[in-house]
């Protein structure tokens, strides 16, 4: 078997970050890619995050993981001043894949948990000196700009079709918080019947630790509660300390683990 790069870019992944494994008959039996990101706002202590993904029914899987980890290390040493992490995403039902990654040297030290939240101890509105309102999303360009802002502060990339699906649900709500002409934070929920989920939230770094995230959460939950929503959920990345602390301030109670993020830290 041999490992090689595809001929060109596919789905926005440059060929040097994608790999194929072919058997002795030159038939592809495995494929994978990695995404190199810089998240100083999401993980201040480890801002370089390299996501790896591979697909194989078995043959060539070890070779593919070796190639992905080697490429991840090449990317990591380009910015030695920053701590980094290479990680994968694994379904909680996929014990075989989890064992494969752990055998390959990754650690089972992170996950995405779903929690139930209640309104935080904050006034559900704009603090003094700020403006709060609904984000205009009628035009496609407005939706794309919103995605760009949100994805800057997300570990996974929110795609346009998924945003459209969220927007079609009865309890879609997107709010902004601004100081003068500067948007300093945004939040959005979506859901149906009596339930809604907090799907995205960020506060610009210069405006953090001022209680603004709690104000946005409280405002959104009050608006939706007035529409009959009584059950709120959110996602929490275990290794994101500020995210966990914010969830606790909203009375978070564990519901389930959505997926695992096995990874390997580079110091």
Alpha carbons 196 and 93: distance in angstroms, whole number: 25
Q: pLDDT band for position 232 (50/70/90)?
A: very high
Residue spans of beta strands (DSSP E) within the chain = 2-4, 18-22, 28-38, 48-56, 84-87, 90-91, 111-117, 131-134, 173-179, 182-192, 195-203, 231-237, 253-260, 263-266
Report the first-to-last Cα separation within the chain, whole angstroms. Answer: 33
pTM: 0.88
Q: Which residue has 């948990």 as its token pair? A: 113
The pLDDT assigned to 155 comes to: 83
Give, in words, the CATH class of 2-111+262-266. alpha beta
Q: Which residue in the block uniquely carries the two structure tokens 């070890």?
A: 62
Model confidence at 42, pLDDT cuts 50, 70, 90, reads confident
Q: What is the CATH number of domain 119-250?
A: 3.40.630.30
The reply to whether 2-111+262-266 and 119-250 are identical in fold is yes
| pLDDT band (50, 70, 90) for residue 1 | confident
Mean pLDDT, the chain, whole residue set: 94
Stretch among 3-12, 81-90, 184-193, 227-236 having the lowest mean pLDDT: 3-12
Are the CB atoms for 228 and 71 separated by under 8 Å?
no
Per domain, the residue ranges of the chain are: 2-111+262-266, 119-250
Q: Given a cut of 80, is residue 157 above it in pLDDT?
A: yes
């Amino acid at each position: 078997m041999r490992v090689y790069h595809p001929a060109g870019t596919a789905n926005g992944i440059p060929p040097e970050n994608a790999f194929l494994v072919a058997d002795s008959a030159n038939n592809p039996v495995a494929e994978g890619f990695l995404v190199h990101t810089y998240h100083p706002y999401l993980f201040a202590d480890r801002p370089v995050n390299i996501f790896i993904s591979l697909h194989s029914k078995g043959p060539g899987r070890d070779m593919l993981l070796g190639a992905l980890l080697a490429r991840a290390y090449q990317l990591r040493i380009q910015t030695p001043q920053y701590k980094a992490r290479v990680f994968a995403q694994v379904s909680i039902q996929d014990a075989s894949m989890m064992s494969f990654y752990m055998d390959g040297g990754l650690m089972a030290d992170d996950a995405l948990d779903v929690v139930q939240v209640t309104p935080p101890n904050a006034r559900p509105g704009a603090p003094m000196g700020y403006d709060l309102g609904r984000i205009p999303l009628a035009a496609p360009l407005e939706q794309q700009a919103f995605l760009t802002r949100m994805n800057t502060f997300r570990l996974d990339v929110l795609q346009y079709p998924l945003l459209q699906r969220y927007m079609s649900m009865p309890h879609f709500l997107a709010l902004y918080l601004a100081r003068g002409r500067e948007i300093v934070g945004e939040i959005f929920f979506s859901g149906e019947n009596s339930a809604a989920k907090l799907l995205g939230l960020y506060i610009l770094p210069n405006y953090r630790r001022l209680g603004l995230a709690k104000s946005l959460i409280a405002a959104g939950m009050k608006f939706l509660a007035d529409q009959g929503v009584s059950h709120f959920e959110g996602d929490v990345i275990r290794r994101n300390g500020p995210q966990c602390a914010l969830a606790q301030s909203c009375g978070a109670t564990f519901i389930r683990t959505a997926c695992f993020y096995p990874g390997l830290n580079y110091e």
